[in-house]
Structure 1
């Protein structure tokens, strides 16, 4: 369910272009193929520029289209830039659910082969995208021995809410996530654009929307609870690796964290285009447009 969000940042012929919504910072910006630009200055940007912009911020959100190798290469480059800048980097992944948390750090510490990591993290059954696409980010994490966090709630929770609404969660499950805040109209606009421009309506539509909110609230909650285990430090930065639909316009995981902490963070939106691509300046602090992949 909601797998349509995986490649949401790839340009398609839609009545509503999710890359050009009038949310947040006004105006638009053209980004060339293979370029990353600051939506604030309009200038070309590098991973080191992203790391510099993250000074003073505790969260960096790296949105992706899951099946685009160049997006994961850019994510790895930004993580490495943050390390070079002297930040204490933690990397949280949408791809892993909370129950596999204990299987992640053995990879970071070099105790597992790649095949063992794939098996023990339940990659093929829980995520399913080609592991090779993500290899650059996992190798960067291992090389720098960065802590990894399994952000996502169990997938059966999301499926249950998608079918039956928030009340479909058991009391025990509900106790492990914040109350679902469903009244963010900007987030609804993003969600509807990603679903082809169709307004959320009816019980089924509301349940599917609630499932998306559970996804975002759950991942935000996981990140915050992880950070709460340690004293606050100006050097710490939590990098969120997630689909673009979970971070674009600051309305997904980033909105849920901001709502609880007042910390907006820095968002890098990644898209794919057939040529120079016009995007809303409010979509994130930086936009990277990759070239088409076969």
Structure 2
């Protein structure tokens, strides 16, 4: 326990002091394919450039967000063109993110926009947003309106009106057995079969929309690496990355996930799940 807290304390000390950049060598990852511990700096040299890098999170875990910022910093330090894709912002509010990066929006205004799009937890994401603004790193809204995913989870994709479908990118919501089995494996199964099926449809809409919007940015900015910050469930290879691969198999992708004690550890995660695990953040 003391060792785990020590690693998190190191992240907080190095990342949450303004103007401080975590040295890549200070964060250790598990290379899933190579079955070895490596530094973030070593991993950064292997990440797609250009392409998409997913960095998963538990939304309420400050150490996970510190690690996400370290990944962004590590790529930025290598002078790679980087953009940050956000599950936390709806795509229809892209102009707000553009204004923030351009320095045309105050922090209070962004905090209110963040609450409108996601939650009151601005403080957990604040350092990421400040770093992107200070470094002029583009930020991309990847999400769909919450009302749509909630309605799909409650009533199914077929319940959406033409107006609601018009607020989505082109999506074919067909939950195949492999996707359903993936969600059962990572989440377990509770409730009725029909309820779980609707939940799968909502997740698929979420995953597919984020993938399409990330790919659309790459199409317009083909030299960039898009770092997608999203919940761990969306970041697994069978989730958003799989949907992106179906849209464009030529785009290189990589998945970085926090290791979670008793659930997702070096011994339980395969290269079909993720490429790297961030060690030392286990709950």
The aligned counterpart of 2:270 is: 281
1:82-101 equivalences in 2 (<5 Å): 82-101=75-94
User: What is the alpha-carbon distance in structure 2 between the residues aligned to residue 274 and residue 243 of structure 1?
Assistant: 18
User: What is the alpha-carbon distance in structure 2 between the residues aligned to residue 147 and residue 245 of structure 1?
Assistant: 24
Q: 1:106 to 1:48 in 2, by over 3 A?
A: same
Q: Does 1:259 align with 2:252?
A: no
Instruction: Note if contact 2:83-2:227 (Cα within 8 Å) is conserved in structure 1.
Output: yes
Deviations 1:37-70 (A, max 9, x none): 1111122222222321114441111111111111
Deviation at 1:144, TM superposition (A): 1.4
Q: Does 1:43 align with 2:36?
A: yes
Instruction: Note if contact 1:217-1:256 (Cα within 8 Å) is conserved in structure 2.
Output: yes
The aligned counterpart of 2:199 is: 208
Structure 1: state its 5+ residue gaps: 1-33
The aligned counterpart of 1:12 is: none
1:44-83 equivalences in 2 (<5 Å): 44-83=37-76
User: What is the alpha-carbon distance in structure 2 between the residues aligned to residue 158 and residue 276 of structure 1?
Assistant: 26
The aligned counterpart of 1:17 is: none
Q: Does 1:239 align with 2:239?
A: no
Instruction: Note if contact 2:87-2:210 (Cα within 8 Å) is conserved in structure 1.
Output: yes
The aligned counterpart of 1:186 is: 178
Instruction: Note if contact 1:62-1:75 (Cα within 8 Å) is conserved in structure 2.
Output: yes
Instruction: Note if contact 1:162-1:207 (Cα within 8 Å) is conserved in structure 2.
Output: yes
Instruction: Note if contact 1:65-1:271 (Cα within 8 Å) is conserved in structure 2.
Output: no
Moved over 4 A (4+): none
Stretch moving more, 90-99 or 272-281: 272-281
* Alignment match of 1:271 (pick from 259, 264, 274): 259
The aligned counterpart of 1:226 is: 217
Deviations 1:131-168 (A, max 9, x none): 22112321221221111111000011111111221112
How high is the TM-score relative to the length of structure 2? 0.81
What SS is found at the alignment partner of 1:180? Answer: coil
User: What is the alpha-carbon distance in structure 1 between the residues aligned to residue 269 and residue 177 of structure 2?
Assistant: 18
Q: 1:275 to 1:184 in 2, by over 3 A?
A: closer
Deviations 1:62-101 (A, max 9, x none): 1111111111111111111111222111111001112221
How high is the TM-score relative to the length of structure 1? 0.78
Q: 1:143 to 1:45 in 2, by over 3 A?
A: farther
Q: 1:129 to 1:281 in 2, by over 3 A?
A: farther
The aligned counterpart of 2:129 is: 138
CA RMSD across the alignment: 2.4
User: What is the alpha-carbon distance in structure 1 between the residues aligned to residue 79 and residue 152 of structure 2?
Assistant: 41
Deviation at 1:199, TM superposition (A): 7.2
- Greater relative contact order, per chain length (Cα 8 Å cut-off, separation 6+): 1
